[in-house]
Structure 1
């Protein structure tokens, strides 16, 4: 049975991005319409909002790049870097859940979505780790095959 780690990783990143988009839209749409938003700190000017938007763009672009690179690269080095990225996102999602619990009033639909995204991230960690191990297993199998046919 062939396990397609790259396809699983791409599907999980896309799922994560769709959830992140939904989470972002729930929080940002009021800002775009000049309505008050429940947040832990208020933006005092358009520059504050602009900075947040750049950070959010970066947070969104890294998984997009991970999807592209995963589709085209299989090197051991890339797999390790990719695994580190998945762990970083899991830590960030856990911190996000914790911080969202301090926003008043607590928006439970947002917390539920973030918990789901955190779980998707943990699954992504697992599959990315298995993808790293696959490289080692393939190298060992190739060494055994080469020795047997020498």
Structure 2
């Protein structure tokens, strides 16, 4: 039995979220070895609330997309969802490039981001296929009301 598009999409989003959480966790691992993780030039008085809210949004959108994908298979939502996956792939690409610009380069972070980018491309493909699929359940219901 093959998985439906929605099952594939939810699974890919879950893998993406786990990878993103692990990316954050890897950045904090030096703390467990008494090493600093502070950004050079940052001050205690800097307000980083906007960063935290941005991270919350970046994590929340895939969670909402997973729930919405489970319950909504409308053409409009599928198109919106495909656009969201394209946005996340672009963000992953830029984040991978940004990780390459950090000195010294944390190759384990770059490798993880490359995996996340690849998973995002697969998510783009499956989302695109789902967007192109005709909604046979809706067609079947329409035909039932005709007869």
TM-based fold match above 0.5: yes
Question: Which residue does 1:25 correspond to in 2?
Answer: 25
Task: Provide TM-score, normalisation by structure 1.
Answer: 0.81
Question: Which residue does 1:44 correspond to in 2?
Answer: 43
Report the Cα distance in structure 1 between the residues aligned to 2:63 and 2:109, rounded to whole angstroms: 23
Query: Which runs of structure 2 are paired with 1:101-116 in the superposition (5 Å)?
Result: 101-116=100-115
The question of 1:6 aligning with 2:32 is answered no
- Structure 1's consecutive aligned runs of 4 or more residues displaced over 6 angstroms after TM superposition are none
Number of positions where the alignment pairs a residue of Structure 1 with one of Structure 2: 144
C-alpha contact (below 8 Å) 1:38/1:104 kept by paired residues: no
Question: Which residue does 1:117 correspond to in 2?
Answer: 116
Distance 1:4 1:36, change over 3 A: same
Shift in Å at residue 50 of structure 1? 2.6
Report the Cα distance in structure 2 between the residues aligned to 1:115 and 1:51, rounded to whole angstroms: 26
Question: Which residue does 2:68 correspond to in 1?
Answer: 69
Task: Provide TM-score, normalisation by structure 2.
Answer: 0.83
Segments of 5+ residues of structure 2 without an aligned counterpart are none
The question of 1:60 aligning with 2:59 is answered yes
Distance 1:133 1:47, change over 3 A: same
Report the Cα distance in structure 1 between the residues aligned to 2:45 and 2:57, rounded to whole angstroms: 18
Distance 1:42 1:91, change over 3 A: farther
Report the Cα distance in structure 1 between the residues aligned to 2:27 and 2:71, rounded to whole angstroms: 34
Question: Which residue does 1:92 correspond to in 2?
Answer: 91
Shift in Å at residue 78 of structure 1? 0.3
C-alpha contact (below 8 Å) 1:38/1:103 kept by paired residues: no
Shift in Å at residue 25 of structure 1? 1.5
